[in-house]
């Protein structure tokens, strides 16, 4: 599988434990958008990449970050009290130009073997 170099300001979000083949588009969006322990660099990311098995599953254009549990979900139950100090974003599927560049491509080279952190920032200044 081809490895890609991501050039946009992005946050890679590994969702391996939640991802399964056959998920709906809404389910994939919701497992990607929240809830995460992320720092202030979240505000600099333009795109969020859904990563499962080191492969880009989907790419979202981030509109805004919110405290976890403060926006509506359709396929999950998120209780704000349980997720203090965590964040979720609201966004939409990225343009076809962005998606076609990255979906179904490997990002394994961005993650050090054994690193359990599900979050990786790229091109954040």
Q: Is 15 within the bounds of a domain?
A: yes
Work out the average pLDDT over 76-81: 73
Domain span including residue 72: 10-122
Q: Is 89 within the bounds of a domain?
A: yes
Q: Is 3 within the bounds of a domain?
A: no
Close Cβ partners of 83 (under 8 Å, ≥ 6 residues apart): 34, 35, 68, 69
Helix runs in 11-84, H state only: 25-33
Q: Is 80 within the bounds of a domain?
A: yes
Higher pLDDT, 80 or 114: 114
Helix runs in 14-113, H state only: 25-33, 96-102
How many domains would you assign to the chain? Answer: 1
What does the pLDDT look like over 37-76, one tens digit per residue? 999 999 999 999 999 999 999 999 999 999 998 898 998 8
Looking at residue 3, its pLDDT comes to 83
In angstroms, the CA 44 to CA 62 distance is 10
Q: Is residue 62 within 8 Å of 91, Cβ to Cβ?
A: yes
Close Cβ partners of 62 (under 8 Å, ≥ 6 residues apart): 11, 45, 46, 47, 48, 89, 90, 91
For residue 16, is pLDDT > 90?
no
For residue 2, is pLDDT > 90?
no
Q: Is 1 within the bounds of a domain?
A: no
Q: Is 5 within the bounds of a domain?
A: no
């Amino acid at each position: 599988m081809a490895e890609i170099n991501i050039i946009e300001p992005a946050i890679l979000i590994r969702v391996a434990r939640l991802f399964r083949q056959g998920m709906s588009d809404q389910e994939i969006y919701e497992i990607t958008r929240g809830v995460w322990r992320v720092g202030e660099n979240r505000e600099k990311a333009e795109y969020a990449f859904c990563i499962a098995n080191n492969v880009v599953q989907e790419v979202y254009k981030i509109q805004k970050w919110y405290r976890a549990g403060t926006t509506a979900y359709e396929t999950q139950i998120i209780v704000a009290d349980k997720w203090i100090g965590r964040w979720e974003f609201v966004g939409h599927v990225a343009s076809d130009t962005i998606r076609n560049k990255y979906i179904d491509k490997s990002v394994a080279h961005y993650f050090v073997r054994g690193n359990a952190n599900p979050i990786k920032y790229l091109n954040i200044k």
